[in-house]
Structure 1
């Protein structure tokens, strides 16, 4: 597993570099084919390369999700080389989430040599998750349709916790048009887009609701052209995170209802919901099964976490498919210089994944309608 992870990490794959993502897909495909005995379908959508293995000829029952793109630019390996030292594996993209891909390959390969036929499993590895999955969302939702479960190999939460809930995400851009004027000679003739932006920033931030778990955060901001000109244009980005669809709709309506404060200013807001929420109701039964299996395998006790970040699991939950996330590597530092994977956790988590897939393939159809054990959410 370490050798496979090293091979994937050394193949850099920043999401925005289409050629790099295509090269990465080739390496991921070769690595996966060596374990699974077959090559994947290579799916290129809007120039972005995704991989799909459909294992067996039976109806699709389990979707395993991952992505091979990363946030790290080309050349990151020079300062952050792939290393394994004192039980800690490091390198750009190792935790988020190339180790998870390798876990999926090894888990499915182990099942293929055991008593459970891997028939009805789809393994989908996308190449644009870090961008919000603009080209792969429809593919993810189509592959999830009809499945009894989606298992997401994103990295675990702190301490190895599985991710049983994720907030929904909406992304917006507010563009403000004013009127330029000389800042020293006749500022009164202008309509200051920066001042209007200040009013709108406060109005946007006020839409947050801490009790509901809703955050509405103005982020990237720009205004003006020169130091002695009343800004004619300004813009800022807005990041929205919500626990439920009702809050996502409330914020969307409120943002689109904002009006200018300054006479002569104009507002234009674009964007909208990007990912629906992944509620605990979508993961509860799967999590209860994972807890029981982990205890039986000596890989427990498992814990659960609700997180603000999104993943492709939001999409599968959004189309009504039971979804369990955070089944990938244990470690930390996603998107940060200290990104790492704990090597000792790799085998037991991979065995747990294999056991969960096996149960989903062989258990009765009503498996996921059973209520979770109230004591399992520790």
Structure 2
């Protein structure tokens, strides 16, 4: 697994870089085929989603669905500043923790099933290409596969220490775009309508929408205008929103869609760049976690679970009411930070656990 993780890490795979993602996808598909999986793809211009399947052996019924992703937040060239290294139990490099180690563990567990010829249910695996920006092209695929699955297991990093994730905040990326009227800023300012001024006022409104709710709001980027002597004709802001309650999610997103201009000649539009619904713990997930605890105890491991703040594709499956648990990748730390690392011991432990789950969760 460590050798596989090394190869995957050296193939940098930032979201949206179709050429870099294709290079890693080819390696992953070859490894998946060697592990006994049938491979297919759903093509997209910004990166293909990988679809792998393993027929059941001695067990019939709906498949287990495993979710992972092979894109990372790191730009090509990051390896020069964050080189691959292994020191004791600590493995470092861009994407090792989130979540290339999870892919290595997944493939090792599936290979063990093939080698040992043990009974297991059918398995489906989706490895998404744009998870780090909210899976805007993968949502329909994930929903379709989840509808046919008996349970969904996410190969994202766990909580610190290894606890699974049994719920997630809703996560939405929204863009507010304002169209104004350009004019000379000194000779005829009243003929113009500043898109930037309108956007600033709208952002104040948006802040008030969440001020009395447990909603996280981050204005991540703002762009607009062109010259200081021209009234800005266009501006936009990208917002990141996190929700713990579906009712808050519905109310805030509805209010965003209903924004009206402050200035008579300004125009406003709001679009959702990506949307992952709030996944709250429920009976189906609780029952799955209890089954996973029993399986872990059978191999001498202790397993706990609790909700998480971050979002992933399991938001989609959990919100649909499908039995879902996430965080089955190895533990480590520093996700999206230059301190990113993963535990090599955790890789072995998680491989043993996942192999046991695949043979016992029927």
- TM, length-normalised to structure 2: 0.91
Q: Which residue of 2 aligns with 1:374?
A: none
Aligned-pair CA distance for 1:85: 0.8
The answer to whether the Cα contact below 8 Å between 1:25 and 1:51 also exists between their aligned partners in 2 is yes
Q: Map of 1:191-340 to 2, 5 A cutoff?
A: 191-208=193-210, 211=213, 213-271=214-272, 274-281=275-282, 282-300=284-302, 302-340=303-341
Q: Which residue of 2 aligns with 1:135?
A: 137
User: For the structure 1 residues 283 and 221, does the alpha-carbon distance in structure 2 shift closer, same or farther, using more than 3 Å as the test?
Assistant: same
Q: Which residue of 2 aligns with 1:49?
A: 48
> 2:122, 2:36 → 1: CA distance?
16
Q: Which residue of 2 aligns with 1:118?
A: 120
- TM, length-normalised to structure 1: 0.87
**What whole-Å deviation, never above 9, does each CA across 1:242-269 have from its counterpart, x for those lacking one?**
2243322211211122212223222122
Aligned-pair CA distance for 1:214: 2.1
> 2:259, 2:338 → 1: CA distance?
39
Q: Which residue of 2 aligns with 1:375?
A: none
Aligned-pair CA distance for 1:289: 2.4
> 1:173, 1:102 → 2: CA distance?
35
The answer to whether the Cα contact below 8 Å between 2:15 and 2:130 also exists between their aligned partners in 1 is yes
User: For the structure 1 residues 210 and 304, does the alpha-carbon distance in structure 2 shift closer, same or farther, using more than 3 Å as the test?
Assistant: farther
Aligned-pair CA distance for 1:29: 1.3
Aligned-pair CA distance for 1:199: 1.1
- Match of 2:48, SS? strand
Q: Which residue of 2 aligns with 1:14?
A: 14
The answer to whether the Cα contact below 8 Å between 1:289 and 1:356 also exists between their aligned partners in 2 is no
**What whole-Å deviation, never above 9, does each CA across 1:41-73 have from its counterpart, x for those lacking one?**
233234622222221154432111111121222
Q: Which residue of 2 aligns with 1:351?
A: 352
Aligned-pair CA distance for 1:191: 2.1
Gaps of at least 5 residues in structure 1 are 362-378
The answer to whether the Cα contact below 8 Å between 1:60 and 1:122 also exists between their aligned partners in 2 is no
Whether 1:88 and 2:90 are equivalent positions in the alignment is yes
- Match of 2:361, SS? helix
| Number of positions where the alignment pairs a residue of Structure 1 with one of Structure 2 | 358
- Match of 2:79, SS? helix
Gaps of at least 5 residues in structure 2 are none
> 1:224, 1:44 → 2: CA distance?
36
The answer to whether the Cα contact below 8 Å between 1:252 and 1:272 also exists between their aligned partners in 2 is no
